[in-house]
Chains A and B, each alone.
Chain A
Amino acid sequence: MSAVTPRVVTPRVDTPGADAPRVRVPSAAPARPSRGPARHRGLRVVRWTFLTVLGLYFLVPQLAMARFAFQNVPVVLLNASTLFSKWSASSLVDALSQAALWDAAKTSAMLAVLSVVLDLALLLPLAILAEIRAPRLRPVLSALTLLPWVIPPIALVVGVAATFRDVAPGFLTSTLSLVPFYAIWAMPFTYRALDSGLRAINARTLVEAARSLGASELTVLFRVIVPNLSASIVAASGLTAALVLGEFAFASLLLKNTLPTYLVNYQRDSPQAGMALALAVMVLTALALGAVVHMLRRRGLGMSTTGF
């Protein structure tokens, strides 16, 4: 059988009425052509001014932090004339040589992984069920999952502590007690990422297609939904992890030693090294997020399908 199909050009006989030939009307010329370019130039100036101001607002403090952290110059002498003198990474080396840092980092990493797992285990089935079985529940869920941002951490901690002190006295002493808090805290991000991902892949018709082909519920879930939702799952996990790695209030209130609480305490003792460490963490986080986005793009999954 020939693979090449001769292209059959059917003369189009327009059946009366339905699609009468459409006349393309040339679009009207711009009303005031003379003012067009001037307005564009004005807009461009505004745009660049805005971007420059925003950039400076962001960069100046970073530069100040970097100078404070990495220049062996007394703070009072940090001015324009000393901009290029005595740069050194010694403070960062100091900071990285603290064993307590690595303990705290390990704790935080573990908390991040567990929080991601718990969050996905709770919200992935919920978001899928809501999308496929009960779309009317979606606005309710989306409001409910915003609650963690309305309740301040102190209220959550006090409430939970009061409850658990009687029920399970050992619970709050464990570092792992942070995991449920973080899972709740990350809910708004995770739910939104999953929900918009489900809508972007048109999950409901995919499920219908799979079911009409004879797929069981589990096959639908693991062979159809999860693979196509991977961008959202990665985005949700990345955001949850970033949130956990930077969370201070819960850890501090529950007296746990995580990376953020360690950073605050350490900075109190050695301000310069603490600042160097904070900058390093920031750069690493930015690089990690960039890598995730890049990976998703290469798989043809823009961040747009994740809701962010």
Chain B
Amino acid sequence: MATIEMIGVRKTFGTTVALADLHLHVESGEMVCLLGPSGCGKTTALRLLAGFEQPDAGQILVDGEDVTHVSPRHRGFGMVFQDYSLFPNLTGRQNIAFGLKVRRKGAAEIAETVDRLLAVTRLEKHADKYPHQMSGGQRQRVALARAIATEPRLLLLDEPLSALDAQVREHLRDEIRRLQQEVGVTTVFVTHDQHEAMAVADRVAVMRDGLLEQIDPPRVLYSRPASQFVAGFVGTVNRLSAERTVDGGWFVLGAKVEAVGDTGSEPAAAPDATPVAGEKATADAAPKHAVVRPEQLHVNRAESGAGPVARLVALSFLGAFTRAVIEHPTEGLVTADVLGEAADGLAVGDAVAVSVRPGAGAVVLQ
């Protein structure tokens, strides 16, 4: 267990800047997910941590000790690769034992550790198979056991689940988390799958163009994304226009809402008008946007009255809820989730009213 610190790390490949200036702090025993689209620098960050690449600038500290130029061999980190990277000429058991053999541990100690890890990863039956005789999930469990066999100070996981199919992925994801918590090893997990990151991490670091965009626990990341990019990356969002009321509140979709985020300065009181709380301000409010999650919206049928109305253009049943896409006269396409049977009365083509559900939590202003 160790705390990890990346300070001002920069890495370029030719003219491409993979990491511009990365600052990352990982607490001892914590699991941090590096999340981002491909090319955001998350894999580079992991490879720098592992020691496979050298940064152009900056420092990597483990428990305060500078390991920036220490070879991967002497860092004492465990790594799990996307393509498993098991040694094809060794059985599962021999693969797990590899790091211990290299460290010249005694045969009894090796056997004991390997047996324990085989049990923990539920691989007893497959211990003597060669990698090519195992399924993807089994191979990745061997890779995981191999990485933690040497009791690493830091466990690095490079998209460990992306080569697996959906069911195995979910199962193994939970298993990795369970194991990580049992062993208590500090872990950095790279993924491009936001569900994966949100499900397992203590904190998720969203990266973009070689920079850290936001690092927070999943719940905070979801409810208070620091930017439009983060909001869009960790789930579906609507970007709706927000207008300021004279008392400093906010209107979204024609109703007053609870808002957090960049609310800006207090509006200047208009000298020749008496401000009325709850009324829309007029000229002095700069145009703003509110980030609203589909589940924060409420949809119900509306009588087609005069003037433009919102219309339901698509409905897809997703089990616990139904996702509705609404063509709104001023906001464009709006996505809303309708829970349970509330969707029964809705049909594509209906005129609907859409609003922010009271008590659905704050919307985020930008």
Partner of A208, one of B81, B130, B171: B81
Complexed CA–CA distance, A205 and B316 (Å): 43
Q: Please provide the chain A residues from 212 to 270 with a CB less than 8 Å away from any CB of chain B in the complex.
A: 212-216, 219, 223-224, 227-228
Contacts of B73 in A (CB 8 A): 211-212, 214-216
Contacts of A14 in B (CB 8 A): 318-319
Contact B83 A212 (CB under 8 A): no
Contact A16 B132 (CB under 8 A): no
Q: Please provide the chain A residues from 75 to 124 with a CB less than 8 Å away from any CB of chain B in the complex.
A: none
B: residues with CB less than 8 A from A are 50-52, 71-79, 81, 83, 85-89, 98-99, 102-103, 119, 122, 124-125, 130, 132, 146-147, 150, 156, 166, 170-171, 193-195, 235-236, 294, 316, 318-321, 323, 335, 337
Contact A206 B52 (CB under 8 A): no
Distance in Å: Cβ of B127 to nearest Cβ of chain A: 11
Contact A17 B235 (CB under 8 A): yes
A1 contacts B by Cβ under 8 Å = yes
Contacts of A174 in B (CB 8 A): none
Contacts of A208 in B (CB 8 A): 50, 52, 72, 79, 81, 85
Complexed CA–CA distance, A205 and B125 (Å): 27
A: residues with CB less than 8 A from B are 1, 3, 5, 8, 10-21, 201-202, 205-206, 208-216, 219, 223-224, 227-228, 300
Complexed CA–CA distance, A223 and B316 (Å): 54
Contact A15 B89 (CB under 8 A): no
Complexed CA–CA distance, A274 and B166 (Å): 66
Distance in Å: Cβ of B361 to nearest Cβ of chain A: 16
Contact B170 A213 (CB under 8 A): no
Complexed CA–CA distance, A20 and B315 (Å): 12
Contacts of A213 in B (CB 8 A): 78, 98-99, 102, 146-147, 150
Distance in Å: Cβ of A202 to nearest Cβ of chain B: 7
Partner of B195, one of A18, A21, A228: A18
Contacts of A13 in B (CB 8 A): 319-320
Contacts of A216 in B (CB 8 A): 73, 102
Distance in Å: Cβ of B246 to nearest Cβ of chain A: 35
Q: Known contacts A3-B124, A212-B78, A213-B146; is A205 also within 8 Å of B89 by CB?
A: no
Contact B88 A201 (CB under 8 A): yes
Complexed CA–CA distance, A206 and B87 (Å): 7
Contact B88 A215 (CB under 8 A): no
Contact A206 B85 (CB under 8 A): yes
Contact A3 B85 (CB under 8 A): no
Complexed CA–CA distance, A300 and B156 (Å): 31
Contact B316 A20 (CB under 8 A): yes
Of listed A5, A19, A21, A211, residue having the most chain B CB within 10 A: A211
Partner of B83, one of A15, A202, A227: A202
Q: Known contacts A206-B85, A215-B73; is A8 also within 8 Å of B171 by CB?
A: yes
Of listed B85, B103, B321, B335, residue having the most chain A CB within 10 A: B85
Contacts of B170 in A (CB 8 A): 10
Contacts of B81 in A (CB 8 A): 205, 208-209
Distance in Å: Cβ of B313 to nearest Cβ of chain A: 15
Contact A300 B132 (CB under 8 A): yes
Nearest residue (CB) in A for B195 is: A15
Q: Known contacts A10-B170, A205-B83; is A212 also within 8 Å of B77 by CB?
A: yes
Q: Known contacts A16-B294, A17-B235, A21-B316; is A209 also within 8 Å of B194 by CB?
A: no
Closest 10 CB pairs of A and B: A213-B99, A17-B236, A227-B89, A209-B85, A212-B79, A205-B85, A211-B72, A214-B102, A215-B102, A16-B236
> What are 27 contact pairs spanning A and B, CB under 8 A?
A1-B119, A3-B125, A5-B122, A10-B171, A11-B319, A12-B166, A12-B319, A13-B319, A16-B236, A16-B337, A19-B166, A201-B88, A205-B85, A206-B85, A208-B50, A208-B85, A209-B81, A210-B87, A211-B71, A212-B51, A212-B72, A212-B77, A214-B73, A214-B102, A215-B98, A215-B102, A228-B88
Contact A212 B318 (CB under 8 A): no
Contact A214 B103 (CB under 8 A): yes
Partner of A209, one of B71, B79, B235, B319: B79
Contacts of B103 in A (CB 8 A): 214
